Amino acid sequence: MNKIGKVNLGVFPTPVQKLENISAILKTNVYIKRDDLTGIGLGGNKIRKLEYLLADAKAQGAQIVFTTGGAQSNHAMLTAACANKLGMRPILILKNRGVTKPLGNLLLESLMGTEVIFMDTGDYADIYEEMDRIGRREGVPYYKIPCGGSNALGTCGYVDCAREISGQGIHFDSIVCAEGSGGTMAGLALGAKLYMPGTSVYGMMVDTDPFDQITPELMRGAKELLGVDIEITPDGVFYQDVCGPGYAIPSQEGNAAISMMAKEEGLFLDPVYTGKAFGGLIKMAREGAFRETDNVLFVHTGGAGGLFAVLDQS
Ligand SMILES: *Cc1c(COP(=O)(O)O)cnc(C)c1O
């Protein structure tokens, strides 16, 4: 396997815990992978991706790091936190989509003194152009991270996560995660093929993009970078639509899942990603998708920053 540059940002391995009360309710063994405890910002999945992406930025001598996302992007907030730590200047160019009041992640960004620019466009291409315009104007080396950190390099962070899970002592029949830009799911799916053959991976789609195309594309890209010899087939890779009324708009099932997790286990999910994803897991369990003896792992990808902004608006 190729050795790819990586910086240490988070605290790994993150714990795997059994959700005893929820397991009893859903009549299967439900575990949680605590990637909400990755150790910087308020935690979350983006840290694993940023360990690769910001290593690349550093290696290229970048002084400015750009990224983008919706107004309440957890990824953008965590990119700012990590870039600051590594001595690079973050600039966030966010879509005018979602809660734009100074709440949630926007509040955290103002605490960090982060430069945030809103752009009124539906098209990320306009935003990447604006990054180039600002980068040229500033006249220093800059690095552009795509929405969600989901390119081949960022995806490698979740191949690592799959390897980590495979060493934590429990065989999982199924792994379930939220899918928003695809890198987390793609990395877990590729990593499962490498380290946990026979484990199914479910991407709970919280947006309407063609994830059945995006995911294998990212898997192929990460496979090339890592130099591993494995066939990218759809075997064991599944997608479920949990988007509900729309991206970043809370759903009834998602809110019910947030309540169940809070009440039964004392853990907090978020309305944009993890609540909807766990809602999808609950639905699958109720429809009999898991056996009583199955071990099902839910990957808690974070999202605490958005909890205080988005639910407030619903
Ligand atoms: C970004 C994000 C996701 C989705 O991960 P992708 O790799 O973008 O698909 C899930 N949960 C939270 C909390 C996120 O911030």
Domain match, 295 and 174 both: yes
Gap from CA of 291 to ligand 1 centroid (Å): 27
Whether 274 lines ligand 1, by a CB cut-off of 6 Å, is yes
Whether 303 lines ligand 1, by a CB cut-off of 6 Å, is yes
| Residue closest to 201 by CA, chosen among 191, 211, 210 | 191
Domain match, 30 and 144 both: no
Cα 85 from Cα 112, distance rounded (Å): 11
Domain match, 195 and 78 both: no
Counting from 1 in the atom list of ligand 1, the atom nearest the Cα of 158 is 7
Which of 149, 182, 209 is where one domain is finished? 149
Domain match, 21 and 50 both: no
Domain match, 40 and 59 both: no
Residues of the chain with pLDDT under 70: 311-314
pLDDT at 1: 81
> What's 79's domain CATH number?
3.40.50.1100
| Residue closest to 31 by CA, chosen among 18, 14, 20 | 18
Q: What sign has the CA pseudo-torsion 93, 38, 188, 82?
A: positive
The rounded radius of gyration (Å) of the Cα atoms in the chain is: 18
90 lies in some domain:
yes
Cα 299 from Cα 18, distance rounded (Å): 12
Question: Token digits for 78?
Answer: 């965590």
The active-site residue, picked from 73, 174, 181, 251, is 73
Cα 58 from Cα 233, distance rounded (Å): 34
Task: Report the DSSP pairing between strands 16-18 and 29-34.
Answer: antiparallel
Domain match, 168 and 302 both: yes
Residues spanned by the domain of 92: 46-149
Q: Which residues pair with 300 in a beta bridge?
A: 34
Domain match, 56 and 165 both: no
Domain count, the chain: 2
Whether 301 lines ligand 1, by a CB cut-off of 6 Å, is yes
Which of 94, 125, 149 is where one domain is finished? 149
pLDDT at 97: 86
The amino acid at residue 112 is M
pLDDT at 312: 54
- Coil, strand, or helix at residue 119? strand
Whose CA is closest to atom 3 on ligand 1?
Answer: 180
130 lies in some domain:
yes
117 lies in some domain:
yes
DSSP state of 140: S
Gap from CA of 184 to ligand 1 centroid (Å): 7
Cβ atoms of 300 and 268 within 8 Å: the answer is no
296 lies in some domain:
yes
200 lies in some domain:
yes
Which residue is listed with tokens 């009440």? 263
Whether 14 lines ligand 1, by a CB cut-off of 6 Å, is no
Counting from 1 in the atom list of ligand 1, the atom nearest the Cα of 270 is 13
Gap from CA of 216 to ligand 1 centroid (Å): 17
Q: What sign has the CA pseudo-torsion 182, 304, 254, 32?
A: positive
Question: Token digits for 249?
Answer: 């708009």
| Residue closest to 302 by CA, chosen among 63, 33, 69 | 33
pLDDT at 57: 98
Q: Give the chain's length.
A: 314
Counting from 1 in the atom list of ligand 1, the atom nearest the Cα of 148 is 8
Counting from 1 in the atom list of ligand 1, the atom nearest the Cα of 178 is 10
Domain match, 175 and 292 both: yes
Domain match, 266 and 126 both: no
Gap from CA of 161 to ligand 1 centroid (Å): 14
4 lies in some domain:
no
Whether 66 lines ligand 1, by a CB cut-off of 6 Å, is no
- Coil, strand, or helix at residue 288? coil
pLDDT at 68: 98
pLDDT at 311: 67
Gap from CA of 120 to ligand 1 centroid (Å): 23
Domain match, 238 and 171 both: yes
9 lies in some domain:
no
Number of C-beta neighbours around residue 164 at 10 A? 19
Domain match, 165 and 70 both: no
Cα 147 from Cα 76, distance rounded (Å): 8
Question: Token digits for 290?
Answer: 């898991």
pLDDT at 308: 87
Whose CA is closest to atom 15 on ligand 1?
Answer: 74
Domain match, 158 and 258 both: yes
Cβ atoms of 185 and 215 within 8 Å: the answer is yes
Gap from CA of 185 to ligand 1 centroid (Å): 9
Whether 74 lines ligand 1, by a CB cut-off of 6 Å, is yes
Helices of type H across the chain: 20-26, 46-59, 74-85, 104-111, 124-138, 152-166, 183-195, 211-226, 252-265, 274-286, 304-310
Cα 226 from Cα 214, distance rounded (Å): 18
Known catalytic residue at 181: no
pLDDT at 198: 95
Counting from 1 in the atom list of ligand 1, the atom nearest the Cα of 179 is 9
Whose CA is closest to atom 13 on ligand 1?
Answer: 303
